[in-house]
Structure 1
Amino acid sequence: MELKFISEITTQYDSFTKVFRKIADYILKDYMQLPFLSIQEVANATSVSPASIHRFCIQLGYPGFSAFQREVQVFMQKNLAETESEEYRNWKQSGNSILQKQIDLNTTVLQEMLNEDLAINFDKSVEAIQKAKRVYIIGLRASYGIAALLYNLLHEYMDNVYLLTLGIDDIYDHIANINSDDLLFSIGFKAYTKYTVEIIKQFHKMGAVTITLTDKYTSPLAFNSDICLIPGNTTPSYGFVMAVTIVKALSVAINNIHDPEILKLYERKQDLLLENDILI
């Protein structure tokens, strides 16, 4: 899929005003972030007015900024799907075991993932979560399973952990009273979800600590996060093997099972589950 605006910018660039050239330079460099930014945020990043952004989009042939965003969003979704499909088609055509290829890839990914930044930010994350009054966890679409896993691992020993989900009630009802004592742990990999980005921005705005587990520093989830857990991989990966590894390690580090109070809480929960025939 060809992006219309790239050819339009290239064709019209010499005739652009100084303001339009500033916008064009920013968009050509960071257009993959556009689906996650408001028109005001793009204006702030380029030091121009929102009205100038709107006029720029019209100049390129779009009704406005929203239509411009949609084209980039559709491109990102289609590009990710095609890349993933092509990778697995190549596996099938090779004639080798798909299971073996997946195991080999995951082994390489795990061997590459640890670097100095990840180790430092892992320790910072453990300390921040242990200090937080309330810990909120969010991961949507494909990342929901990782978020649910982290919630269940932490909830075994902690009673201040909350999983934010869509479709049951309004997330904003649950976070209306968050403050600087609270923490958000967000999880997301390409293709990123705009709703997750908006929740991170809300927590950041209200002074809460924000931690993100994502795939690269240019991820829109990382922009408003205080701490980023980003594996140092060079092998292409969709992140879930690394994510499960990090989440499991976090739960072990955070839940100090030698603390008598934590042990008592865990034992009470286990007793309740057994008494009510939930566990066998």
Structure 2
Amino acid sequence: MTKDILSLIQTNMSTFSKGQKLIANFILESYDKAAFMTASKLGKTVCVSESTVVRFAAELGYDGYPAMQKALQEMIRSKLTSVQRIEVSNDRIGNQDILSMVMQSDIEKIHLTLEETDRAQFDQAVDAIVSARHIYILGVRSAAAIASFLGFYFNLIFDNVTVVHATSTSEVFEQLLRIGPQDVIVGISFPRYSRRTVKAMQFAHDRGAAVLALTDSEASPLAPIATLTLLAKSDMASFVDSLVAPLSLVNALIVAIGRKKNDDLSHTFETLEQIWDEYEVYEKVEEQN
């Protein structure tokens, strides 16, 4: 369904039963909370039965409540403010044990990411990175941590890596000035998506570079620009971005590339070990003097 779910509800409001109107009004007023409620909880919140909620979803043309819930989540994916995230997070946690709930949620995101990762896209991403003339990595805000992590290990494997520092839009384009065909850019962004990352990815795409997006959904603004897309589940309802699933996917990417570049990686570590040994000897001489 391509029509905005809120518009769909407003258009059909006159056809709803009394109970359905209660659901409709709640969603229109608090869609940020409704998107993360089970059918049972939504029913209890507006004082109708769970079956009424399920019928409401069908009335709108969805194949069950989960499909309607997904449509709501996709709609608000990039719209939740930090304050709304805190409110939704508090509502979801309630009186539950925070440690257990957060860690269990992270485990579920890794499972979902594993199940939904396109193996062909993953393999193509590995090949594109290995064969690239130059590799650019870009992540803004919390995604910068993943970009830095990826850059650290890529610098051990390759000698053609640039982690793009994004303190300003103009600085991003300055660092991407020479990007072109035979290059690849890895753009990392999760809700709320970074406009700087989207603009940089579009620039790289227009210059003919291979564009690899690491994001959470096909609805992400990075997806239409990307040559290849790797999806990792995130929690848009928490004010703290959950990076567990994206980081796990990045780990897999690094390991797969490391196996492809095994000889180069071995040589790098042999060189590092020699440097470390020499530096330790130098330190001992300094201490004796």
TM-score of the two chains, using structure 1 as the length reference: 0.64
Distance, in Å, in 2 between the alignment partners of 1:274 and 1:93 is 54
**Does structure 1 residue 267 correspond to structure 2 residue 273?**
no
Query: Kindly tell me: are residues 217 and 265 of structure 1, through their superposed partners in 2, closer, same or farther at Cα, counting changes over 3 Å?
Result: same
Q: Any conservation in 2 of the 1:189–1:239 contact (CA below 8 Å)?
A: no
Say if 1:274 and 1:243 are closer, same or farther in 2 by CA, change over 3 A.
farther
Separation (CA, whole Å) in 1 of partners of 2:185 and 2:259: 20
Q: Give the partner amino acid of 1:175.
A: L
Instruction: Name the counterpart of 1:171.
Output: 172
Task: Give the secondary structure class of the aligned counterpart of 2:187.
Answer: strand
**Coordinate RMSD, CA, aligned:** 3.1
For 1:109 and 1:130, how far apart are their aligned partners in 2?
28
Shift of 1:195: 0.7
For the Cα contact (< 8 Å) 2:143–2:189, is it kept in 1?
Answer: yes
**Partners of 1:203 and 1:227 in 2: CA distance:** 13
Letter in 2 for 1:167: T
Change (3 A) 1:78 1:236: closer
Shift of 1:272: 3.3
Report the counterpart of residue 98 of structure 1 in structure 2: 98
Match of 1:123 in 2: 123
Per-residue deviation, 1:165 = 0.4
How far apart, in 1, do the equivalents of 2:91 and 2:255 lie? 38
Q: Tell me, yes or no, if the aligned pair for 1:112 and 1:234 is still in contact at 8 Å.
A: no
Q: Which string of whole-angstrom CA distances, capped at 9 and with x for unpartnered residues, describes residues 117-166 of structure 1? A: 52221111101101101110000011100111111122122211110002
Query: Can you give the 5+ residue segments of structure 1 that lack an aligned partner in the other structure?
Result: 1-5, 11-74
Partner Cα separation in structure 2 for residue 105 and residue 116 of structure 1: 16
Structure 2 alignment gaps of length 5 or more: 1-5, 11-75, 281-289
CA contact (8 A) 1:118 1:231 kept: no
Give the 3-state SS of the residue equivalent to 2:218 in structure 1.
Answer: coil
Question: What secondary structure sits across from 2:159 in the alignment?
Answer: coil
- Letter aligned with residue 171 of structure 1: V
Match status 1:111 vs 2:114: no
User: Aligned pair in 2 of structure 1 residues 131, 257: CA closer, same or farther (>3 Å)?
Assistant: closer
Specify whether residues 77 and 128 from structure 1 end up closer, same or farther in structure 2 by C-alpha distance, changes over 3 A only. Answer: closer
2:152 — aligned with what? 152
Question: Could you tell me which residue of structure 2 aligns to residue 251 of structure 1?
Answer: 254
TM-aligned CA distance change 1:113 to 1:260, over 3 Å: closer
Whole-Å Cα distance in 1 between the matches of residues 132 and 226 of structure 2? Answer: 15
Runs of 4+ with deviation above 4 angstroms? 75-78, 232-239, 273-277
Measured in 2, the distance between the counterparts of 1:78 and 1:116 equals 24
1:242-265, CA deviations, whole angstroms, 9 ceiling, x for partnerless residues? 100000000000012773333112
Q: Deviations over 1:38-93 (max 9, x none)?
A: xxxxxxxxxxxxxxxxxxxxxxxxxxxxxxxxxxxxx9877242443124323653
Partner AA of 2:223 in structure 1: A
1:217 maps to which residue?
A: 218
Aligned to 2:192: 191
Question: TM-score, normalized by length of structure 2?
Answer: 0.62
Of all paired residues, the percent bearing the same amino acid is 25
In structure 1, distance between residues paired with 2:277 and 2:221: 43
Q: Which moved more, 1:186-195 or 1:147-156?
A: 147-156
Aligned pairs, how many? 206
Q: What is the match of residue 207 of structure 2?
A: 206
C-alpha distance 216-261 of structure 1, shift in aligned 2 (>3 A): closer
Q: Give 2:55's aligned residue.
A: none
Supply the AA of the counterpart residue of 2:263. Answer: P
SS at 2:212 equivalent: strand
Conserved 8 A contact 2:80-2:192: no
Q: Is structure 2 residue 67 aligned with structure 1 residue 84? A: no
Separation in structure 1 between the aligned mates of residue 269 and residue 148 of structure 2, nearest angstrom: 18
Counterparts of 1:18-37 in structure 2, within 5 Å, are none
State which drifts further: 142-151 or 84-93: 84-93
Q: What secondary structure sits across from 2:94 in the alignment?
A: helix
The answer to whether the 8 Å contact 2:190/2:234 transfers is no
C-alpha distance 260-76 of structure 1, shift in aligned 2 (>3 A): closer
Cross-structure match for 2:243: 240
Give the letter for the 1:199 counterpart.
A
The CA deviation at 1:235 is 10
Structure 1 CA distance for aligned equivalents of residues 253 and 211 of structure 2: 15
